[in-house]
Amino acid sequence: NKLENLISPTYEEIALDLENQLANLDGGYEKLTTAMSKQGEQWHREIDIVINKMKTEISEIKIKHRDILQKHLDEIKQIQALIKQTLVAIEEINKFTEVSPTIEYSSKIIEFSKLPPTVKVTLPTFIPKPLDHEKLYNMFGQITPLSTATEENVLSLIQPNTSVRVLLDEPELVATIQTGYENVTSVTYLNEDCVWTSGLTKDIKCFNMKGELLHTVSNKSKQRPNDIAVDSDGNLLFIDGISRTVNKVKNGQTEVLIRLRGWSPCNLCVTSNGDLLVTMFSDDFTQCKVIRYSGSTEKQTIQFDDEGKPLYSEKLKTKYITENRNHDICVADSEANAVVVVNQDGKLRWRYIGHPSVTKKEPFEPVGITTDSQSRILTADCYNHCIHILDQDGQFLRSIDNCDLEYPCGLCVDNNDNLFVSEHFNGNVKKIKFLR
């Protein structure tokens, strides 16, 4: 029965999915070439506009050139006419037998000897700029690398019992940890009793729920970490933006896990299968992307939507990231004032740009982001002093605006669905119960 009713149909579904991908392969690549052709047509139109504009400029220069030459020619002809008149006058004087007209005649030789300047108007020239083929290629567009995402198919022969947890009508403040930071930016869950925190100093601190400091890790570069996370083995991970590295602290020793060139890492998270997702910016701040790593190996790039448009804003601002239980990748893009969610293949699912019931005073500017056991998404709205809670399809459910939240920034959820919130400007981390 299990072979016929469960296992065999599952293989049929997998085979059907692969057949559909193969059937749609040509159409997908046709769309790719069509998009490139449209870009080429747009370039041709822009080049024609430039050429026509230059032709207009040439016509205007030609008119100006003609006017300059004509003006000087008119002046020369006027002088020539005066010379002719003078010659006629001299001939008339020669006819007289009286000497008085000759005595009265005033010579024009000196006046006419002052020759006008020779005018040479040089024709304008067109100086073509040398083509930089590499820059031209980069300006034209970018073909994203082939992205292959493999997901383990685990066939469960026993239907698990899943508990449904609902939102509390009134979230409860459970504990407040005073970290000692002047500004606290990130918080990440370690185990039942501990969280790691980071702020605008080189020190990363681990506290228990009583607020007792258990461990401190100092960044060797003396720079503050951009973000922190904990891997599946309980090792601390942190980003050093100055050295462009993702680092792992294991047994008290710090080692470089990933070193970037041409890009600066911003924020990170650990996925359910142990991969790393890292948001990053190009050095010229014109591009932003998400890279999936297995260890130190790059597995996937997420940067553009199906129309070739950037998924994320390019400016250098925090882009906290998390993976949902359904394997969606959620980025809080504060510069774009949006939460951007793609599926595990990097395809855009939806964008959330705030809810009018919450963003009456200040624009929605999401910072920290995390998910709970029910695949709900929680994101910190720093300047509205609250947390937005969304379902996995981006629908607003409610907000957490009590618990005396002040400038919430970093977020994480523990195994019991307790929410931890770092308050940026007072250095506190609050533990909040928000589910039944």
- Express each pLDDT in 194-226 by its tens digit: 999 999 999 999 999 999 999 999 998 888 999
- DSSP lists the bridge partners of residue 241 as none
Cα 422 to Cα 183: distance, rounded to the nearest angstrom = 9
Question: Are the C-beta atoms of residues 179 and 429 closer than 8 Å to each other?
Answer: yes
**High-pLDDT (> 70) share of the chain, %:** 96
Residue that the structure tokens 């995390």 belong to: 370
* pLDDT 10s digits, 257-272: 999 999 999 999 999 9
In three-state secondary structure terms, 151 is coil
In three-state secondary structure terms, 353 is coil
Q: Is the pLDDT of residue 102 over 80?
A: no
**High-pLDDT (> 90) share of the chain, %:** 61
Proportion of the chain in helix, strand, coil states, percent, rounded to 5: 25, 35, 40
* pLDDT 10s digits, 170-197: 999 999 999 999 999 999 999 888 999 9
Q: Which of 222, 252, 254 is nearest to 238 (CA)?
A: 254
State the pLDDT at residue 110. Answer: 83
Cα 203 to Cα 223: distance, rounded to the nearest angstrom = 9
R_g of the chain, CA atoms, integer Å? 37
Q: In which band, very low, low, confident or very high, does the pLDDT at 312 lie, cut at 50, 70 and 90? A: very high
